[in-house]
A = this chain, B = another copy of it.
Amino acid sequence: MAAHALVAFEPRKTPIQARSTVTVEAISEAAVQVLLSHGAERLTTTRVADRAGVSVGTLYQYYPNKQSLLFAVLENHFNHVALRVEEACANACHKPLSEMTKETVEAFVDAKMERADISVALYRVAGDVGGPTLVKRVNQRTRKAVEAMLETAPDIKSPPDKFAVEIMLSAMGGAMRSLLESGPSPATVRKAREQLVLLCQSYMAAATAKRG
C-alpha cells in the first residue's frame, strides 16, 4: 500500500538533452527557494516555475504533480544526510564503541546543520508527501550502516539489539528537529551536539554487553 502510494511521486520523464537536465535541476532548486521564501502553504507550481525561469508546462513535463516535486526535494535531502552518516560509519570501524557513537552522531548533526534552512522548510511538507515512508526507508538504510560498524567494535561482546539502534536514530532525529525548529544560535548547536553525543553514548553502553 505504501509502495503503491509512492508511484504517483515518481518522475514523469527522464531528461535526455543537456538543457533539460539543467531545467530539472533549476526546478528542484527553485522549489527549495520558494519553500524558504514563501513557506509551504504558498508553494505553488506556477511560482516554482517562475522562479526557475521556465513555464509551468515544463515543470509538469518532469513531475506528474506538485507532490512528486516536493517528494523529490525531500528525497534529495534525506539521501544527502544518509550518505554522510554512512561515510562516518565506514570511517569509524574498529574503533571503540564510544568513539563510533560520537563520530556517527556528529556526522548526523553536521549534515543536518549544513542545510539547516532546508531541513526546517521540509519538516513542513514531509507530512503531505510521503515523509514517514521516506523516513522509514532512510532509517533502514542508516541502521544497516550503523549495525555493520558496530559489528567491528573491539570492546563489546554482543552488538546492541536492532531495535535499540532504531530507537537511537529516531531519538536523534527528534531532538535535532526540535533544535532546528527553535532557530538555535551556534553556541546552542554546539552544546546540543555534545549532549546528543552523550545521550547516544550512554544508551549504546547501556544496551550493550561489554567485552571482558
Would B175 and A192 count as touching, CB distance under 8 A?
Answer: no
Query: Which chain B residues border A170 with CB–CB below 8 Å?
Result: 174-175, 177-179
CA distance A119 to B179 in the complex (A): 21
Would B132 and A128 count as touching, CB distance under 8 A?
Answer: no
Query: Which chain B residues border A132 with CB–CB below 8 Å?
Result: 181-182
Would A181 and B135 count as touching, CB distance under 8 A?
Answer: yes
Query: Which chain B residues border A199 with CB–CB below 8 Å?
Result: 167-168, 171, 199, 203, 206
Encode contact with B along A140-169: 1 for CB under 8 Å, 0 otherwise. Answer: 000000000000000000000101101110
Closest to A196 in B: B167
Encode contact with B along A193-204: 1 for CB under 8 Å, 0 otherwise. Answer: 001101101110
**Beta-carbon contacts under 8 Å, A66-124 to B:** 123-124
Query: Secondary structure of the A side of the interface?
Result: helix
Would A177 and B178 count as touching, CB distance under 8 A?
Answer: no
Query: Which chain B residues border A182 with CB–CB below 8 Å?
Result: 132, 136
Encode contact with B along A168-192: 1 for CB under 8 Å, 0 otherwise. Answer: 1011111111110110000000011
CA distance A124 to B40 in the complex (A): 13
- Distance to closest chain B CB from A138 (angstroms): 11
CA distance A156 to B90 in the complex (A): 38
Query: Which chain B residues border A123 with CB–CB below 8 Å?
Result: 127
- Distance to closest chain B CB from A101 (angstroms): 12
Query: Which chain B residues border A195 with CB–CB below 8 Å?
Result: 161, 163-164, 167, 207
Interface positions of A (Cβ within 8 A of B): 40-41, 123-128, 132, 135-136, 139, 161, 163-164, 166-168, 170-179, 181-182, 191-192, 195-196, 198-199, 201-203, 205-207
